[in-house]
Structure 1
Amino acid sequence: MATTNIWQQFKSLLPEGARTVVTITSNNGDGTSSATMRDGTVISVQGENVPAGRNALIQNRVVKAELPRLAAYEAEV
C-alpha cells in the first residue's frame, strides 16, 4: 500500500547514508583501504577496488566507485 504522507514519499527518493569524495591513500590487503578526506582526516573504508592516489566515492564507509580527477577552483565572493 502506497503512503499518502508526502514527507515519507520525499524521503524514499533520497539515498540512505552520506556520500563523500575521498582520495585513496593505500589498499591494505585485507579488503579495506585508507582514505583521506578533504579536510585531511584519514579514515579506513571497506573495499580495495580503487587504486591508491585516485579519488573515490564512499557511502557509509564503503567504496562505491572511482571518480575522475577534475580541476577544483576556489572563488572569493
Structure 2
Amino acid sequence: MATTNIWQQFKALLPEGSRIVAIIKANNGNGTSQAELRDGSVITVNGESVATGQKAFIQDGEIKGTAPSLAQYEVDV
C-alpha cells in the first residue's frame, strides 16, 4: 500500500548513503581499488570500473561510476 505521508514520499526520492568524489590511484586486481579523497587520505573501495587517474563517484564504499573533471571553486560568504 502506498503511503500518503508526503515526508515519506519525499525521502523515498533521495538516495541512501553519502556519495563522494575521489581520484582512483590504483586498481588492485582483486575487485578493489585505492581511492584518494580530497583531504589526501587513501581508502580501499570495491570495484575496478574506473581507470587509474580518473575521478569516480563512490557510494557506500563502492565505485558507482566515472565522475566528470570539473573546475572546483571555493567561496567565502
Find the counterpart in structure 2 of residue 12 from structure 1.
12
C-alpha RMSD of the superposition: 1.2
Segments of 4+ moved more than 2 angstroms: 73-77
- Note the C-alpha offset of 1:43: 0.7
CA distance in 2, matches of 1:15, 1:74: 25
Q: Which moved more, 1:66-75 or 1:8-17?
A: 66-75
Partner of residue 66, structure 1: 66
1:8-60 superposed Cα distances (whole Å, 9 cap, x missing partner): 11110101111110110100000000001111121110100111111000111
| TM-score with structure 1 setting the length | 0.90
> Equivalent residue for 1:22?
22
Count of aligned pairs between the two proteins: 77
Question: Identity across aligned pairs (percent)?
Answer: 60
Residue 33 of structure 2 aligns to a residue in which SS? Answer: strand
Q: Which residue of 2 aligns with 1:54?
A: 54
List gaps (5 residues or longer) in structure 2. none
| Unpaired stretches in structure 1, ≥5 consecutive residues | none
